[in-house]
Amino acid sequence: MPLQNRSSRTRQRTVLLVVIMVLIVTIVAVLAAVLLANGMKETSMELLQWKGRGTTKNLQEVILGRCYNYITTVNPELRDKDCQKIWEKMQKAFIYKNPCNITIEDYQPLLDLASHPIPCNKSLFWSKTNDLVHRYTKTNHNFLTLEDTLLGYMADGVSWCGNPSSPGINYESCPKWSECESNPSSVYWKMASKMFAEEACGVVQVMLNGSIEAGAFRSNSIFGSVEILNLDPDKVSTVQIWLMQNIGGPPSHLRNLVVFKFCTSLRLCNPTEALQILQRPNRFV
């Protein structure tokens, strides 16, 4: 009998130890889960801080709405474009990513879906004439700016950027170009501008601001650093410059217009060198 009592007590102690160990493991697991949840909650609130305006509210609805309007009203020839897929590719290019590490490759799937041909003799490039050039194209449909293409139409005036932590999109702030060049908007517009230039053919128009004291042509502008370098000499015959004077003054811009041509054969001249004269201060003021 004493042997049986010792055996029984041993089993009881073993059961008790097992119960205690299970309780300890359970408590540790619960505490770990709580700490992890709190840590994830804190991480999700850690938005990177930038100097630019944040992502446009209701960005998805804005992009989809503009896309559908473009393919049904502005350019019905593109009615077969899939706006939902276009938005998905655009979102995938920047969501949950550091907004200073965006590449052209991130946007390539979007470009493949949204790009489309530009009719010859209709391409109109611009620099420092934003308001004027778009008021002009709204009344004169003989020309198209980048903002009149699907890529430009969807993103005009819109801002967006991602964030590595949840919710993946930063609605509070986005980086300016001066903070980092490889931000979502800058990369997007350079990519779209390159595409627009590569599609240009025939006679190409350029509207520049002739009232800028530093000169109408800026080599570091999108036009100077991206678009003019990607014009195809096999497709573009002539580049015609419109120098607009007194921008922001009385509505007599076209009376102050200076038009001249350069590169009647794009193969026979360097466009950038030909435009150097426009960099001279007050050259056309």
Active centre residues (catalytic): 120, 201
Q: Mark 38-49 as b/e (b = at least 16 C-beta within 10 Å).
A: eeeeeeeeebbe
**CB distance 150 to 116 below 8 Å:** yes
Find the angle CA(6)-CA(12)-CA(17) to the nearest 5 degrees.
Answer: 125
**CB distance 92 to 109 below 8 Å:** yes
HSE on the CB side for 35, CA within 13 Å?
6
**CB distance 144 to 118 below 8 Å:** yes
Euclidean distance between CA atoms 238 and 24, whole angstroms: 81
Peptide bond into 167 cis (omega under 30): yes
Euclidean distance between CA atoms 10 and 97, whole angstroms: 59
Name which of 111, 98, 81, 132 is nearest 252 in CA terms.
132
φ, ψ of residue 173 to 5 degrees: the values are -160, 155
Euclidean distance between CA atoms 198 and 232, whole angstroms: 6
Q: How many CB atoms lie within 10 A of CB 137?
A: 19
Q: Strands across the sheet with 124-127, in order?
A: 124-127, 202-209, 236-244, 258-262
